[in-house]
């Protein structure tokens, strides 16, 4: 007997195995009038609603003709931090550039001070609240970075919080060590000395945390491509897979560097060069695009998703949730921005937040798809078809969310209204 059957699914999204590159991102298999069965943590059967009537289950869930998808995957977040930075909004409104805010001791450095001062339990409870909100928007798997410590004690504290959250099991979380996220004021003019310290921490992070990835902020005023290359090379020697914040503001060549070092992902890419995009398309590196950051910073130029996909690259989408440059838990809003600002199609968008996003964080075996024998991470959406979600933006369309077969969030019946 099955534990649960979800039946009367109007549209069941069944992304292909990935990573999906270029034209393959336009393919999104769907099954209409569908049903699926869950036993324990796994999907054990998919078929039609009519066929589901012959199966026995402890519980039946009526999808009422709506959409069911894999749980969403958010492959770039800064989940664990102290403090907040609402006072910087006025500076942004006045036209102050982010790098100028950073020079004044704001930006990342402001959050570093608050995170260093916060104790681990406070950070844990705060991050757990954020993760719960993400789950309510349909996210069942995500990546979380350190990077607000810039010293051994605080970086370990952040990664310990991520490990504790992962062990709780509400969501699956991939951990990333982002030690070189900014340059502390005490190392101004001694950037290479600081980078050496972060490199020296690599064996400590490998031994004491579950971090599988490292990341570095390669940008004007932070770390050069030469410094990023040195960190990535050292990371790989210590058994980490590498990621990079690349070409967010200036075209420094971070995209090409990501390809050169076989990075699992290159993130941001707003200023990626035409040559960088071509190299990306010929590589296995995932382009993780963060339109919410461009939107929040009030910029007009977004990452060129259309050129990347046309070139044959694999593209994923993420929130970049953080306290300074993209303060949102809502991956659904990012899906809308991808449609409105980057001209991605609904099919490309769904693939970018499911199967491709899972590959961007090494979780493709457990997340991003619905397969028999696969993990039962599922979302029931209160929408009439899958194209509706990026069209109707700024609201939460999730009706129910399952993680490993367990219902972890459900909208109250009083909050559900029919869509005409």
Rounded to an integer, what distance in angstroms lies between the CA atom of residue 407 and that of residue 403? 6
Backbone φ and ψ for 45, nearest 5 degrees, come out as: -165, 145
Mean pLDDT of the chain: 95
The pLDDT, as a whole number, for residue 418 is 55
What does the DSSP 8-state code read for residue 87? T
Q: What is the mean pLDDT of residues 28-33?
A: 98
Provide the pLDDT confidence category of residue 104 given band limits of 50, 70 and 90. confident
Task: Using a pLDDT cut of 70, give the percent of the chain over it.
Answer: 98
Rounded to an integer, the average pLDDT of 277-281 is: 98
Q: Which of 83-97, 147-161, 399-413 has the lowest mean pLDDT?
A: 83-97
- Pairwise CA distance, residues 11 & 21, whole Å: 24
Mean pLDDT, range 350-355, rounded to an integer: 99
Distance CA 144, CA 125 (A): 15
CA distance 44 to 47: 11
More confident residue, 416 or 407: 407
C-alpha distances (whole Å) from 311 to each of 7, 23, 220, 282 are 39, 9, 27, 9
**pLDDT tens-place string over residues 322-339:** 999 999 999 999 999 999
pLDDT, mean of residues 152-180: 97
* Predicted pLDDT of residue 420: 46
Look at residue 105 and tell me whether its pLDDT is greater than 50.
yes
Taking the alpha carbons of 147, 352, 137, 212 in that order, is the dihedral positive or negative? negative
Mean pLDDT of 88-93: 82
Across the range 272-296, mean pLDDT stands at 97
Cα–chain-centroid distance for residue 89?
Answer: 24
pTM score: 0.96
pLDDT at 415: 59
388-412 tens-digit pLDDT: 999 999 999 999 999 999 999 999 8
């Amino acid at each position: 007997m099955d534990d649960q059957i979800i039946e009367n699914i109007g549209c069941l999204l069944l992304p292909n195995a990935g990573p999906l590159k270029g034209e393959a991102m336009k393919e999104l298999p769907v099954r209409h009038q569908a049903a699926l069965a869950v036993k324990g943590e796994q999907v054990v059967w998919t078929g039609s609603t009519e066929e589901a009537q012959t199966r026995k289950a402890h519980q039946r869930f009526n999808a009422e003709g709506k959409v069911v998808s894999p749980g969403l995957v958010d492959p770039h977040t800064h989940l664990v931090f102290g403090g907040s930075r609402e006072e910087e909004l006025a500076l942004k409104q006045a036209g102050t550039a982010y790098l100028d805010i950073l020079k004044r001791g704001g930006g990342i450095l402001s959050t570093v001070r608050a995170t260093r001062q916060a104790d681990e339990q406070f950070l844990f409870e705060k991050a757990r609240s954020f993760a719960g909100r993400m789950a309510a928007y349909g996210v069942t798997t995500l990546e979380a970075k350190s990077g607000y410590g810039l010293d051994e004690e605080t970086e370990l504290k952040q990664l310990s919080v991520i490990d504790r959250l992962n062990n709780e099991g509400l969501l699956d979380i991939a951990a990333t060590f982002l030690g070189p996220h900014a340059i502390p004021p005490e190392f101004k003019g001694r950037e290479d000395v600081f980078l050496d310290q972060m490199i020296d921490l690599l064996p400590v992070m490998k031994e004491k945390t579950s971090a599988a990835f490292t990341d570095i902020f390669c940008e004007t005023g932070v770390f050069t491509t030469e410094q990023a290359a040195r960190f990535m090379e050292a990371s790989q020697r210590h058994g980490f897979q590498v990621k990079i914040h690349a070409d967010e503001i200036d075209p420094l060549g971070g995209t090409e560097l990501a390809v050169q070092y076989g990075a699992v992902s290159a993130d941001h890419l707003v200023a990626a060069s035409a040559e960088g995009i071509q190299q990306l398309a010929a590589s296995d590196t995932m382009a993780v695009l963060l339109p919410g950051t461009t939107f929040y910073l009030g910029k007009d130029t977004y990452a060129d998703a259309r050129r990347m996909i046309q070139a044959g690259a694999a593209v994923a989408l993420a929130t970049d949730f953080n306290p300074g440059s993209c303060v949102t838990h809502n991956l659904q809003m990012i899906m809308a921005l991808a449609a409105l600002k980057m001209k991605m199609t609904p099919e490309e968008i769904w693939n970018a937040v499911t199967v491709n996003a899972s590959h961007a964080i090494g979780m493709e075996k457990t997340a991003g798809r619905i397969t028999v024998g696969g993990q039962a991470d599922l979302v029931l959406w209160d929408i009439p078809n899958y194209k509706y979600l990026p069209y109707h933006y700024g609201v939460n369309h999730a009706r129910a969310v399952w993680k490993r077969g367990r219902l972890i969030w459900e909208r109250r019946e009083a909050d559900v209204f029919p869509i005409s």
